[in-house]
């Protein structure tokens, strides 16, 4: 859980309250109990002292209540709201009513109750009510709640129900209930793309010789179990609506699609489909193109991408400097060109990625590199998927050529602006890999953060507070090759060497 920095202002008010209490104690010790004044003056003196003490006490407690602070002394900060949830609170400008139904004996439920109350004290627009359905069954029944840990979020006549014990999921629910438009993300299918209906299966490609995500994956066969279902689930948690789009059965892309996603197609598009994509972008649409190794673009689609300032090369990027584990074909990216998409993204990995060449465009379109490989990276040619040799037949010989010069390669780019015939500005993100969005790689490193940030930018919601939903995955420690070498040097080489050196030193001293 991310930690949110302490708010110092309530601590100053707490210090003022302590000073007021100390002042009252000092006054009680110093002021005389009896005076030499007359009876009436004595009564007035006593009443004045009591009134002053009561006034200081009431005013100090009111000030402390109005400037409530929260101090979490647990090591894990389990009673502190996440930074993302607090950012949602800070930007909340409309009234939101939250009713949380929890079991009073459930520790996780009690924790979320306390965290929501802390969040409610940070913003007067956020009103929280915690209810135990066993004690108030009528309220739970009238609200349509039949389960524990259910959060009913209401705002401006709309309501969202979230079942969770995580305040980040509640923050996502707040964003969903305040969103005043439907955001539909349309996944194009019909060309062997990674299907959005598959939620949890491992995504992989079976090549002619082995199981691989690298350049050999372009050698054909896609097995059952591939999918981008985890991406779909994460988008739906953000309040987006995921739809399937079969372009071959339509003349155009529906106007209610906010963004179009083409995730790793394997077969060539039809000319009419490429024309539909062009018409969609001319209307100011948004699109995410994930074109994997070996995919061959239809001439019309290739011309469209060139008009957008990008050309997908039939090559695979090899990065000896920055890669995952010991596979230089699994490129890792830790640094990004400045862009709203990559503002808060860390390490991402790409299991076999093709480079993009940026071509000149008109002044009406701005094309920006988004991902680049390291200075030591180079490329190897890849045969297009449609030209592969049949299984069991000898591979076609490659013409001898000079090895490419090492240097950074563009792995992904964004385009924003207008093309010929445009009615409104378009937005496009293009990446030379689709596997990183699949179920296998989506939850790891910052792949999910990058993909969700891309979709938010395409939906023109990049200024909204980013709240990531948690994706259940087995516990893994993922390291790049350089990180693996550092850990190996420290644990396997340095620590044993220190023990041996210490033993030799002790033996020498005893001699």
* CA dist 271 → 249, 277, 288, 422, 485 (Å): 13, 10, 19, 19, 49
Share of the chain above pLDDT 70, in %: 82
264: left (phi over 0), alpha (psi -120 to 50) or beta: left
Q: Can you give the pLDDT at residue 401?
A: 57
Strand bridging mode 410-417 / 426-431: antiparallel
Q: Can you give the pLDDT at residue 386?
A: 59
Task: Provide the CB-side half-sphere exposure for 233 (13 A, CA).
Answer: 16
**Residue range 428-443: average pLDDT?**
91
Q: Can you give the pLDDT at residue 8?
A: 66
> Rounded to an integer, what distance in angstroms lies between the CA atom of residue 129 and that of residue 100?
6
Task: Kindly indicate the confidence band of residue 475, based on its pLDDT and cuts at 50, 70 and 90.
Answer: low
Q: Please tell me whether the overall predicted TM-score, pTM, comes out greater than 0.95 for this model.
A: no
pLDDT tens readout for residues 203-216: 444 444 444 555 55
Q: Can you give the pLDDT at residue 213?
A: 54
Class of the domain covering 83-178: alpha beta
> Rounded to an integer, what distance in angstroms lies between the CA atom of residue 143 and that of residue 216?
55
Both tokens of residue 239?
Answer: 């309040």
* Equal CATH topology for 83-178 and 184-386+404-458: no
What residues contact 219, with CB distance under 8 A and at least 6 apart?
207, 208, 209, 294, 385, 388
- Determine whether domain 184-386+404-458 maps to CATH 1.10.3720.10: no
Q: Are 24 and 57 in contact (CB under 8 A)?
A: yes
Query: Which has the closest alpha carbon to 270: 163, 175, 190?
Result: 190
Higher pLDDT, 189 or 480: 189
Task: Kindly indicate the confidence band of residue 470, based on its pLDDT and cuts at 50, 70 and 90.
Answer: low
**Residue range 106-115: average pLDDT?**
90
The least confident of 146-150, 284-288, 364-368, 467-471 is 467-471
pLDDT tens readout for residues 194-250: 988 876 555 444 444 444 555 555 444 444 456 899 999 889 888 899 999 999 888
With 80 as the cut, is the pLDDT of residue 71 above it? no
> Rounded to an integer, what distance in angstroms lies between the CA atom of residue 219 and that of residue 208?
6
The least confident of 7-11, 335-339, 340-344 is 7-11
Both tokens of residue 59?
Answer: 């005013």
Residue written as token pair 């994956």: 217
**Residue range 457-486: average pLDDT?**
70
Both tokens of residue 217?
Answer: 């994956």
> Rounded to an integer, what distance in angstroms lies between the CA atom of residue 283 and that of residue 367?
18
What is the Cα Rg of the chain in Å? 31
Q: Can you give the pLDDT at residue 225?
A: 52
Q: Can you give the pLDDT at residue 315?
A: 92
Task: Provide the CB-side half-sphere exposure for 98 (13 A, CA).
Answer: 33
For the chain, give every domain's residue range: 8-66, 83-178, 184-386+404-458, 482-511
Average pLDDT, the chain: 82
Q: Can you give the pLDDT at residue 358?
A: 94
pLDDT tens readout for residues 376-420: 999 999 887 655 443 444 444 444 456 678 999 999 999 999 999
With 50 as the cut, is the pLDDT of residue 10 above it? yes
**Residue range 286-313: average pLDDT?**
94
Q: Can you give the pLDDT at residue 77?
A: 72
């Amino acid at each position: 859980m991310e930690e949110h920095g302490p708010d110092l202002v309530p601590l100053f008010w707490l210090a003022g309250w302590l000073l007021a209490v100390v002042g009252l104690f000092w006054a009680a010790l110093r002021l005389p109990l009896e005076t030499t004044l007359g009876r009436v003056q004595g009564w007035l003196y006593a009443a004045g002292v009591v009134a002053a003490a009561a006034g200081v006490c009431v005013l100090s407690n009111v000030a402390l209540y109005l400037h409530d602070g929260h101090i979490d002394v647990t090591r894990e900060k389990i009673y502190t709201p996440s930074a993302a949830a607090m950012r949602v609170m800070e930007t909340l400008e409309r009234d939101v009513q939250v009713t949380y139904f929890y079991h009073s004996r459930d520790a996780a439920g009690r924790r979320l109750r306390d965290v929501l109350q802390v969040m409610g004290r940070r913003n007067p627009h956020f009103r929280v009510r915690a209810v135990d359905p066993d004690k108030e069954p009528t309220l739970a029944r009238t609200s349509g709640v039949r389960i524990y840990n259910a959060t009913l979020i209401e705002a401006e006549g709309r309501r969202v129900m979230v079942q969770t014990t995580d305040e980040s999921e509640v923050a996502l629910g707040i964003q969903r209930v305040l969103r005043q438009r439907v955001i539909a993300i349309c996944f194009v299918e019909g060309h062997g793309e990674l299907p959005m209906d598959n939620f949890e299966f491992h995504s992989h490609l079976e090549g002619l010789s082995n199981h691989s995500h690298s350049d050999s994956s372009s050698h054909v066969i896609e097995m059952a179990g591939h999918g981008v279902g985890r991406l779909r689930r994460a988008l739906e948690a953000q309040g987006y609506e995921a739809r399937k789009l079969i372009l071959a059965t339509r003349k155009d892309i529906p106007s209610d699609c906010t963004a179009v996603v083409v995730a790793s197609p394997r077969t060539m598009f039809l000319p009419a489909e490429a024309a539909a994509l062009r018409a969609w972008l001319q209307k100011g649409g948004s699109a995410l193109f994930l074109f994997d190794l070996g995919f061959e673009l239809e001439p019309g689609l290739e011309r469209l991408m060139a008009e957008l300032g990008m050309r997908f090369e039939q090559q695979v990027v090899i990065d000896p400097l920055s890669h995952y584990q010991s596979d230089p074909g699994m490129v890792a990216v830790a640094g990004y060109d400045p862009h709203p998409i990559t503002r808060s993204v860390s390490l991402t990995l790409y299991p076999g990625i093709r480079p993009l060449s940026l071509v000149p465009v008109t002044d009406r379109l701005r094309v920006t590199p988004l991902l680049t490989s390291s200075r030591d990276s180079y490329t190897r040619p890849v045969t297009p998927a449609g030209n592969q040799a049949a299984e069991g037949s000898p591979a076609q010989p490659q013409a001898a050529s000079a090895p490419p010069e090492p240097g950074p390669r563009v792995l992904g780019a964004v385009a924003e602006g207008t093309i010929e015939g445009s009615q409104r500005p378009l937005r496009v993100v293009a990446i030379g890999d689709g596997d990183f969005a699949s179920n296998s790689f989506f939850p790891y490193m910052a792949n999910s953060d990058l993909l969700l940030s891309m979709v938010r930018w395409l939906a023109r919601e990049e200024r909204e507070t980013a709240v990531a939903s948690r994706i259940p995955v087995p516990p893994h420690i993922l390291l790049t090759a350089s990180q693996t070498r550092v850990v190996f040097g420290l644990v396997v080489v340095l620590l044993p060497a220190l023990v041996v050196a210490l033993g030799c030193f002790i033996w020498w001293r005893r001699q």
